[in-house]
Amino acid sequence: MKKIIIFDTTLRDGEQSPGASLDTDSKIKIARQLTKLGVNIIEAGFPIASKGDFNAVYKVASLVKGVSICGLARSMKSDIEVCAEAVKPARYPRIHVFLATSKIHMQYKLKKAESEILKLAAWAVKYARNFCDDVEFSPEDASRSDRDFLCKVIESVIKAGAKTVNIPDTVGYAIPVEFGELIKTIKIKVPNIDKAIISVHCHNDLGLGVSNSLSAIENGAEQVECTINGIGERAGNASLEEIVMALETRKDIFGVATSINKKELYKTSRLVSKLTGIVVQPNKAIVGQNAFSHEAGIHQDGVLKKRSTYEIIKPQDVGFGGTRLVLGKHSGRHAFNDRLIKLGFELDENELSKAFERFKTLSDKKKEIFDEDLLSIVEDEIVSIPETYRLEDLNIVSGNKVIPKATIGLKKDTRVLRKSSSGDGPVDACYKAIDAITGLKCKLLDYSLKSITGGKDALGEVSVRIKSNKDEVFGRGTSTDIIEASAKAYINAVNKLIFNHLRKAKPESEKLKL
C-alpha cells in the first residue's frame, strides 16, 4: 500500500499556538515521543527566531535519532545559514524554506513583484542545497495564490533542487473540493512535478484542516503536515491523530497507509497537552476524554450487545485505556512499576521513588487507582520544573453564610512562609494568600477543573493560565481535594514564572514573529 509521509510540526507551528511555548527540555521529550509514535519528519522549530529556538532545534537534531529533523527558514541568507547550522547534527537533516506567493502577501507584506518572488524562491532553494541535500519549499498562502504563477514557482524551485514542495492553506481558507482540485492542477500543470514529493499543510480557520488534507491525499499528495491535538496558529493546524485514524479507518476509500504506531496516539496527545498547557476539548475526535464514551441508553445497550454498533475505532487501538482498575493501597513498588512499564513509561530510580511516594499518598485518599491516575502522577514527574515554592499546608473556611478565608503555608528552601486572605470564594482567597507570600501580582486568565476518573473520590485536575507583566504561563495541579488541586496548579504556574524569569536573565533574545 502506498505510504503517506507524516511531517509533524507540533514543535514549530504547534508552538505558535497562542499561549504555548516549549523550552528545550520539553521539545526533546515531545520529539522522543513523536519518534516512538513513528512520524517521519519532525519540524523542531524556527532557528533564526531566537537563541532558545536555535538551541532547541540543535538539541533535538543531536539527541533524537531515527527520524528526519527539519528547521524552518525564510528565503533569506541568514535564516538559511542559521537553520543549516541547527539541523546539522541530525542523521537526516532537512531545511524548509518558505516565501509567500499570493498577491496580498507579495504586495503588502513583502512589497515584491512576481518576477522578484520567482527569482528569490529559486535562489533560496539553491542556497539551502549548499548545506543540505533535503530541502523543502513552501509557497506561503498557496491556496490564495494565482494558480499559473504558483505553478511557475513550483516548477522553478524543483529545478533549483527542492525535493518536497509543500502547499500551505496558510489562512485556512480553502474548501475540500477546491483544495483537492488545486493539488490535481499542480500535478497536471507543473512539468517536473514527478521529481518532488507533494506535501500539504492545512490550517483550521474554517474547521476544515483535516478534510482539506484528506482531499489533497485523494488527489495525489504524498506528505501531510500536521500537529498533535491540532494545535497551531489561531484555530490550529490539521490534527495528526484525526488524519491518521481517518486514513486507517477508511482504508477502503483512501487505500494508503502511514508508519504511525497508533497505540502511541493517546499518550502523545496527553504529553503535548501537559507540556504546552493546551487542554484537549472533551469531545475532540480520537483523543478527547469523551471520544469513546456512550451516554445515551440506546447506544449503551447497543455497545453492550456488540461494540461495533456505535464504535468505529477500538479505544485500545489508539492507546486509550479507558478506566481500568489497576492498583490499590496495598500494591507494592514492583506492581506499580510493572503497570507503568505496561503503560509505556520507564522511569529511572529517582523518578520511580518520587512517583511511588505520590502513589502511596494518593492511595491513602483514594481506594481504587486507575490507569489515568497513574498517567497523571507520572506526567507530573516528567514535566517537573524547579519548585521554588511548595505547598506545605492549607486551611480553608468557606460556606454560603461566611466570607471565605484561606491560610496557606508555602515552603521556600527550608522556611515555611504563611499568609491569610479572604476572597470571593475559597479559590480566590487561596490565590490572594499565595500572591501575598510570593509578592508577585498575577492575573488569572483561565481556570478549569476536570475529574481524571469517575467516582466521588476521583482525582480532580485543575489547569490555570496566569499572567504577570508580559509573561503568560499555565499550571496544573491534581488532588482528591479540588481546593488543594487549585492551589497546586497556581503554585505550579508561579514556579514557572520564576523559572522563566531566571532563564531570561541568561540572555535568550526576543522571539521573532513569523
Binding site for ligand KIV (CB under 6 A): 13, 98, 138, 140, 166, 168, 170, 201, 203
The minimum distance between CB 217 and ligand KIV, in angstroms, equals: 18
CB 456 to Zn ion: min, Å: 44
Indicate which of Zn ion, ligand KIV, none lies near residue 98 (CB less than 5 to 8 Å, by partner kind). Answer: ligand KIV
Nearer of residues 229 and 480 to Zn ion, judged by Cβ? 229
Which does residue 155 touch among ligand KIV, Zn ion, none (CB within 5 to 8 A, set by kind)? none
Contact by Cβ (8 Å): 457, 480: yes
Nearer to ligand KIV, 59 or 201 (CB): 201
Binding-site partner at residue 140 among ligand KIV, Zn ion, none, CB < 5 to 8 Å by type? ligand KIV
CB of 36 vs ligand KIV, minimal distance in Å:
25
Q: What angle do CA 392, 277, 60 make, to 5 degrees?
A: 110
Contact residue for Zn ion among 4, 7, 12, 13 (CB under 5 A): 13
What does the block give as the cell for 365? 485518599
Comparing CB distances to ligand KIV, the nearer of 230 and 477 is 230
Where would I find the H helices in 209-348?
A: 209-218, 240-249, 251-254, 265-276, 297-305, 333-342
Tell me the residue type at 34.
L
Query: Cβ of residue 153: shortest distance to ligand KIV, in angstroms?
Result: 14
For 402, phi then psi, to 5°, come to -125, 160
* C-beta of 142 vs 291, nearer to Zn ion: 142
Closest distance of CB 242 from ligand KIV, Å: 18
Q: Is 140 exposed, middle or buried (0-12, 13-18, 19+ CB in 10 A)?
A: buried
The secondary structure of residue 108, as a DSSP letter, is I
* Pairing outcome for strands 92-100 and 135-140: parallel
**CB nearer to ligand KIV: pick between 212 and 388:** 212
**Shortest Cβ distance from residue 445 to Zn ion (Å)?**
25
Alpha-carbon 291 to chain mean position: 18
At 345, list the grid cell. 513509561
Q: Which is nearer to ligand KIV, 237 or 268 (CB)?
A: 237
For ligand KIV, the closer CB: 140 or 435: 140
- Tell me how far, at minimum, the Cβ of 118 lies from ligand KIV, in Å: 18
- d(C-alpha 227, C-alpha 272), whole Å: 10
Angle, alpha carbons 82-142-15 (nearest 5°)? 50
Helix or strand or coil: residue 3?
strand
Q: In sequence order, what DSSP letters do the residues of 346-412 get, joined into one string? A: ---HHHHHHHHHHHHHHHHH-SEEEHHHHHHHHHHHHT----SSEEEEEEEE--SSS--EEEEEEEE
Least distance to ligand KIV from the beta carbon of 48, Å?
A: 13
199 binds, among ligand KIV, Zn ion, none (CB under 5 to 8 A by kind): none
CB of residue 116 to Zn ion, shortest distance in Å: 23
Q: Is 169 in the site for Zn ion (CB under 5 A)?
A: no
User: 211 touches which of Zn ion, ligand KIV, none (CB within 5 to 8 A by kind)?
Assistant: none
Of 17 and 138, which CB lies nearer to ligand KIV in the complex structure? 138
Cell digits of residue 303:
455497545
Instruction: Give the C-alpha distances (Å, rounded to integers) separating 193 from 157, 188, 221, 396.
Output: 10, 8, 11, 68
Nearer to Zn ion, 232 or 404 (CB): 232
- Residue 175 or 417: which CB sits closer to Zn ion? 175
CA distances from 1 to 210, 226, 257, 258, 419 (A): 21, 21, 6, 9, 65
266 binds, among ligand KIV, Zn ion, none (CB under 5 to 8 A by kind): none
| # residues near Zn ion by CB under 5 A | 1
- Those residues with Cβ within 8 angstroms of residue 392's Cβ, 6 or more apart along the chain or in another chain: 409, 410, 411, 416
The DSSP string of 399-452 is -SSS--EEEEEEEETTEEEEEEEE-SSHHHHHHHHHHHHH----EEEEEEEEES
Nearest-approach distance from CB 170 to ligand KIV, in angstroms? 3
Contacts of 486 (CB under 8 A, 6+ apart): 427, 430, 431, 447, 449, 462, 464, 477
Residues of the shown chain interacting with Zn ion in the complex, contacts defined by CB under 5 A: 13
